[in-house]
Structure 1
């Protein structure tokens, strides 16, 4: 498998060639496996917690359960993003912005392999979200 340095040293015209697609596919598959293990561990921990008769203990356990469930929910969301990225690799659309069709860039994909937008499109999206949240708030 390529190293990050080898990946970044490739000419720009070779963007998303077979070796690069393979690198990101392996990276995403490893992340998916790790995430699935963490989800399973969290589910087992949630199922094994016992409720204490003391009211304070029950409240503490319930709060820990809520936090654990929030974490599992976020992990499921990331798992869906990983699956979508793997689908884009299979269809050879990976690495290109869903909005503009421009390359997302290797550095951005190394930082966030599930990225669907190039930096410019992501910044526009965040500005729009900020604008709409101010109007609502």
Structure 2
């Protein structure tokens, strides 16, 4: 993910990473992540719109192999659009958690998620330890089910 353009009242990525733990999710950090999520939402919507426009405007292809390649590319683009459309509600939920002053804390344990994790995945709802346990349980369930 790209670094945000900072405004005078907003922290930069470097400043937020260098902040002491006692500053965790203070008003400035919440404002930083709010702006970060808004920009992520806007850029995701723009990518979805651009991708849909690209799919709706197919080139004139006479060669069957070119047409097959185009159709395969469209299928891949549709999967990307689907994934990005699923991200939009997660961004909205994260913005709502900011509004409720719950952002940045694990929904299961209440522990801080951490700045680095939130910069990598600003829609994170769980701290890394809880997420890892959840994924391990899921993996074991799938493994047991397939056996």
Tell me, yes or no, whether TM beats 0.5.
yes
1:18 match: 27
Partner Cα distance (1:112, 1:48) in 2: 33
Deviation at 1:122, TM superposition (A): 0.6
Checking the alignment, whether the CA contact within 8 Å between 1:85 and 1:114 is kept in structure 2 is: yes
1:91 aligns with 2:96: no
Work out the number of aligned pairs and report it.
Answer: 137
Deviation at 1:113, TM superposition (A): 0.9
Partner Cα distance (2:131, 2:28) in 1: 26
1:71 match: 80
Report Cα offsets for 1:28-83 as digits up to 9, x if no partner.
Answer: 11111111111100010111015645543332222111111001001111222211
Report Cα offsets for 1:109-133 as digits up to 9, x if no partner.
Answer: 1121111100110110110111012
| Structure 2 residues not aligned, in runs of 5+ | 1-9
Tell me, what secondary structure is at the counterpart of 1:2?
Answer: coil
**Where is the helix percentage greater, Structure 1 or Structure 2?**
1
Partner Cα distance (1:5, 1:51) in 2: 48
TM-score, length-scaled by structure 1: 0.91
Q: Tell me which moved more, 55-64 or 81-90.
A: 55-64
1:29 aligns with 2:38: yes
TM-score, length-scaled by structure 2: 0.85
Q: How does 1:1-137 map onto structure 2 within 5 Å?
A: 1-50=10-59, 52=61, 54-137=63-146
Checking the alignment, whether the CA contact within 8 Å between 1:51 and 1:61 is kept in structure 2 is: no
Partner Cα distance (1:106, 1:82) in 2: 17
